Structure 1
Amino acid sequence: MTKLSVNINKIATLRNARGANNPNVVQVALDCERFGAEGITVHPRPDERHIRFQDVLDLSEVVTTEFNIEGYPDKRYMELVKRVKPAQATLVPDPPEAITSNTGWDTITHQSFLKDIVAELKESGCRVSIFINPESKYFKPAKETGTDRVELYTEPYAAHYHEDREKAVAAYVEVSKIARELGLGLNAGHDLDLHNLAFLKHKIPFLDEVSIGHALVCDALYYGLENTIQMYRRRLEV
């Protein structure tokens, strides 16, 4: 069973636009869980332009499903994760000014750095996942960092899905088999939506988790949050 983790960054973006507490990020997270989400994902950035560090602390007190904190492992991120001790810490290589994640780690060049970070996080009791491109050369070095899982960066798949979905998914199927052979858990995220999610799950049935935020929140404007979460979960039941 592939778990659906809802990324609530966009809820915080909407709240921050007016400077008050509407929508209430904590309440939306609780509602997502009540509506069927099996995890809550946040990605706090240094400028706090959406999720704030205080949000992470507040959410850690109430989230009862799997809490996943994404981010670049700078000093502040590491201190936050070690304080909160979420179920999962997902490491992304984003610079502070990045609008959104746009590539995975070069686990060859950064293997030593990642190995130290992974060890430090696992000492705190977190499962660790490394955001990674669908290129086979990065998987064995990822395994050697000690990470528990990798998260497939799925923007290229989503971008080419409507042109030729078999071609778009081919690299992901290949590397997913490598990950499984290496004993790595497998997550996926970025630009997954109601159109392309079921096919990805069909081709990689042993996905552990998908993290979806932007598309899910956009769909919720039309279908409602509860219905949207159920629609995404049904896409994962193929």
Structure 2
Amino acid sequence: MSEWAAKRFWTAASAEEVEGGHAVRLDGRAVKTPAKAALVVPSRAMAEAIAEEWQAQDERIDPRTMPVTRGANAAIDRVRPQHGEVADMLAAYGDSDLLCYRADAPAELVERQEAAWDPLLDWAAEACGARLAPRTGVMHEGQDPAALERLRTEVHALDAFALAAFHDLVSLTGSLVLGLAAERKAFDPEALWAASRIDEIWQQELWGEDEDALAAAEAKRLAYLDAVRFLSLTRSA
């Protein structure tokens, strides 16, 4: 049996200002989320990006080519109804943050981690008032509860749309600090992504490249950049 896919039924997709934000219409019909909620987004720029994704569809709709639409659906259907639970889940990354677990050898890897990760921990201490301490090895050691609570407050302050993007920024990198640095535009997004890949790149240099692993890493990088873009669209005038 062939896989079912929805067919295109509209001629023109457009953005429109509505009560509470901006909506997308297909030949005048309002787009809804998979859960049948009104798809109303916080900025006109986001609505226009969603309209462009719908307009670019061919005969059959391919959700894989619609990252902004998917992000808006997730924000409305999944994040908004359980905002607190999602925020707590992401804040928990702070107690096992990627940037805090360091190798003890070889020296070159230790130096790479320190050079890339120490400035990010310093940034979090200054910008968020939360100093996370690095450890050697992979055994869990809890962080300062006061620092974790300050980071938790930062995450809970994000609205549903920002939190939907933040979910991907944190889960794809394994780091709450990297997510917050991207959310605040404190560093170049590609540099932050590269910081999350130090261990993997080291392994590639040591053992050689694997095509499947490279393809998976590139898919994650593109998803990360989609999240960065989605976050910027939530805040566009």
| Length-normalised TM-score, structure 1 | 0.26
Higher strand proportion (structure 1 or 2): 1
Q: Which one has a larger percent helix, Structure 1 or Structure 2?
A: 2
CA radius of gyration, larger in = 2
